[in-house]
Structure 1
Amino acid sequence: MPVEPPGREEASANTVRNFNDSLRKLNEYFGADKLLYDITTSDADVWRQWLVNQKYIEVTISKVVKHAKHFLLMANRKGLVRENPFQHLKAGGEENESRKRFIEQQTIDRAIEVAPDTQWKLIIALARYGGLRCPSEVLALTWDDADWEAGKITVMSPKTKRQGKPYRVMPLFPELIPLLERAFEDAEEGTLYVIEKYRNGMQTWVPNLNAFSNEPGLSPGSGCSRACGLLAKQSLPTSTRCMSLRLGSATRRESPANTTYR
């Protein structure tokens, strides 16, 4: 299937990786030699069902279908096909309810405790206490983004840059300060990024996380519920908390201001 992921000069490495993954799933079914104009709407229907039969989770299917529709839309605009055979497909939801869970502070602190070095401890703290996206926002954080006197951090957000929201400002939580200070002391003069040691992102992050998640009292998990709690303790309005932590409307409903956190 001779189609290339749409080129975006500002696209993150993670976005490009997702595009390529979707393209592989298209080629796996249709074959690399399948011509775009030979694909029918019926072929598209069977392909989507094939994704289901392959036991891909709904979130993955939704993302791949959306990418396929986008690829063929670009092909249509370039005059390579007369119509988009994927246009009628329903993508489905992209929320995996089974992965939602509240992470207790003692679990976060235990993970930070067993992490192998200061940089790893800070990665965990930024994700759990700061609510930063991993790895994009964590790796984009520079020392110039931290305003120590004002007690704030400017978080550059590659994911929302195209929507006109290239950054947001969040409180410098007390739980982050000791680790940030230690990392700053350890950094060589002229160091730009807060996280310098593990800049290859998920390639080593996942194996490392899996390794020390086997420690007593730990298990794999996800979410930024704890960060919501830290903001709630500061008696900030829900809208302000959600803006600081880039939360959508669904997460806002799950993060009431009167939630009790210990």
Structure 2
Amino acid sequence: MASLEHVARDGRNHYRLRLSLDKKRIRIGLGEFNEEQANEAKEHIEHLVGQHRRGRPPAPSSADWLDRLPLEIHDRIASHGLVEARQRAELPRTVLAFMRAYIKSRTDWKKPENYRQAVDHLEAYLGKDAPLGSLVKGDVERWQRWMIDDKKGPKLSPNTAGQNVKRCRQMMRQAVDDNLIESNPFVGVKIDLRSDTSKNRFIAADQATAIMEACPDQEWRVIFGLCRFAGLRCPSEVLRLRWSDIQWNRGRFKVTAPKTKRYGKGTRIVPLFREVRTELDALFSIVGPGLECAADSYVIQRYRCSEANLRTTYNKIVERAGLAVYPKPFMALRASRRTELERSGRHKNHVLNDWFGHSGAIAETHYLSVTEDDFLDALADEPASNVPSTDLEGTQEGTSVDSAGPSADQQKPKKANDCVPEMAGKALGKANQYTRRDSNPQPSVPKTDALSN
């Protein structure tokens, strides 16, 4: 009989079977199976072991189950001779080749170029491809330091270098699941994923107006308005907005958020802010949804091509507006709106989190910033007496600007008694009224006695 055990390792929870086959104890990992799937696998594998001993093929129900199995689980069962291995292409046995093949197979990824860049940096460090089993944890740590500090390296930030290590770790996990290597050399390497606040920028209202006026057409004005005044992610959320998502009469619209879909929050509702509604109204009158185009068509039509680089065009718009180009432009717009609404104090924190599609902790770490208005507000709360004056007319150095001129007491140097409290000074003044006496006083002679002699 097989026994099912639950294993928690490296932050992953999975099941595996322990059973006896040909007088040997073997283990079969079940990957990402949940408890129900693991129990089903236990029943079928026990059946396969019995049929293996009798020299018979599996029952139709078990054969159908085998056909539905993921390739890696099927290979693990086949490695023990319980079933025949599936026909498949030979997997690469070197690090770089395996990673590039894995990236090519992940057609579900939205940004595979990030993983390609990580592999390119690893290739630049290694110089040539290496066998999968030859890479160890120390090599990964040296590669990470090379990306950050080495003169010949790309001089990446610790955050970016850590992201590259994290992506390679994910790809090498597949090599472990394919039984090509026993352990993942990227596991256990410490990475620094702290936010780089030096790249944060706040786009003030006057700057936003200048950029808006520099936009080349109405679609770009809508793109900028959605980013700066509604806080949408660009391009993922901006390009997914449809005219049918806008509820004009209720003053709100639906945002499709692919980034948070994996967390069960694929959509959210955002207010139709005045600045956004103005630009959408202008574009609506141009394209005529329901007349000139479908009522559920995308709001942004001209810049949907994958080759259209919105960031490059936006940087040109910023330069045309007479402003300096800044890093992470679209995130800066989104962060500026979150900071702006947070400063207004009109909305609760949980409300803003729901509108922007992130948590309060994420907002504090990556979005909120200190603005020039914060400093002005702090100075506005200070009393006038605490603010030094620059008007020195009629005053002398070292005197208060509140007095017309130095008094006679101020001109005289202070004595030690000047620092004595008022009550003590009065007592001291009374003591000074007594006549000083000789240290060896003689008895005084009455005037009447002197005259009588």
Task: Give TM class, smaller chain.
Answer: 0.7 to 0.9
- The CA distance in 1 between the partners of 2:315 and 2:113, in whole Å, is 21
Deviation digits for residues 80-118 of structure 1 (CA, Å, limit 9, x no counterpart) = 211010112112124111111221011111111001011
Give the Cα–Cα distance (whole angstroms) in 2 for the partners of residues 88 and 192 of structure 1.
48
- Within the alignment, does 1:22 sit opposite 2:134 as a pair? no
Shift of residue 252, structure 1, vs aligned partner:
4.1
Q: CA deviation at 1:17?
A: 2.2
The answer for the alignment partner of 1:97 in structure 2 is 197
Residue 349 of structure 2 aligns with which residue? 238
Q: Structure 2 stretches of 5 or more lacking a match? A: 1-95, 378-453
- Aligned counterparts, 1:52-63, within 5 A: 52=148, 53=150, 54=153, 55-63=155-163
Measure, in 2, the Cα distance between the counterparts of 1:6 and 1:69: 17
Q: Deviations over 1:213-235 (max 9, x none)?
A: 22354223442244222476482
SS at match of 1:175: helix
* Aligned partner of residue 154 in structure 1, secondary structure: strand
* Helix, strand or coil at the partner of 2:309: helix
Q: How does 1:129-144 map to 2 (within 5 A)?
A: 129-144=229-244
Residues 124 and 159 (structure 1), Cα distance of their counterparts in 2 relative to 1, 3 Å cut: same
Q: 1:219 aligns with which of 307, 324, 349?
A: 324
Structure 1 residue 193: deviation in Å? 0.9
* Residue pair 1:41, 1:86 contacting (<8 A) in 2 also: yes
How does the TM-score come out when normalised to structure 2?
A: 0.52
- Map of 1:50 onto structure 2: 146
**Residue in structure 2 matching 1:80, options 180, 186, 205:** 180
Match of 2:136 in 1: 40
Distance in 2 (CA, whole Å) between partners of 1:231 and 1:217 is 28
Compared CA separation, residues 202 and 32, structure 1 to 2 (3 A): farther
User: CA offsets per residue over residues 41-67 of structure 1, 9 Å max, x none?
Assistant: 121111111211220122311211110
Closer/same/farther in 2, CA of residues 114 and 216 from structure 1, 3 Å limit: closer
Query: CA 1:165/1:111 → structure 2, altered by over 3 Å: closer, same or farther?
Result: same
**Cα gap change, 1:152/1:231 in structure 2, threshold over 3 Å: closer, same or farther?**
farther
Using the size of structure 1 for normalisation, the TM-score is 0.88
Given that 2:228 and 2:337 are in contact with CA atoms closer than 8 Å, whether structure 1 keeps it comes out as yes
Hey, what does 1:11 align to over in structure 2?
109
Counterpart residue type for residue 207 of structure 1: T
Local SS of the residue matching 2:239: helix
Query: 1:41·1:85 contact (CA, 8 Å) conserved in 2?
Result: yes
CA spacing shift, 1:136–1:201, aligned 2, 3 Å: farther
Identity level (%): 28
1:207 aligns with 2:312: yes
Structure label with greater radius of gyration = 2
Letter in 2 for 1:74: Q
Corresponding residue of 1:154: 254
What CA distance in whole angstroms lies between the structure 1 residues aligned with 2:234 and 2:194? 18
Output one character per residue of 1:121-146: Cα deviation in whole Å (capped at 9) or x when no partner: 11111111111111111111111211
Distance (whole Å) between structure 2 residues aligned to residue 237 and residue 201 of structure 1: 38
Q: Is the 1:156–1:166 contact (alpha carbons within 8 Å) kept by the matching residues of 2?
A: yes
In the aligned structure 2, how far is the partner of 1:39 from the partner of 1:164?
Answer: 37
Distance (Å, rounded) in 2 between the aligned partners of 1:163 and 1:32: 39
Partner of 1:198: 303
Structure 1: unaligned runs, 5 residues or longer: none
Q: What whole-Å deviation, never above 9, does each CA across 1:21-75 have from its counterpart, x for those lacking one?
A: 2222222323563222221112111111121122012231121111011111122
- In structure 2, C-alpha distance between the alignment counterparts of 1:80 and 1:186, rounded to whole Å: 58
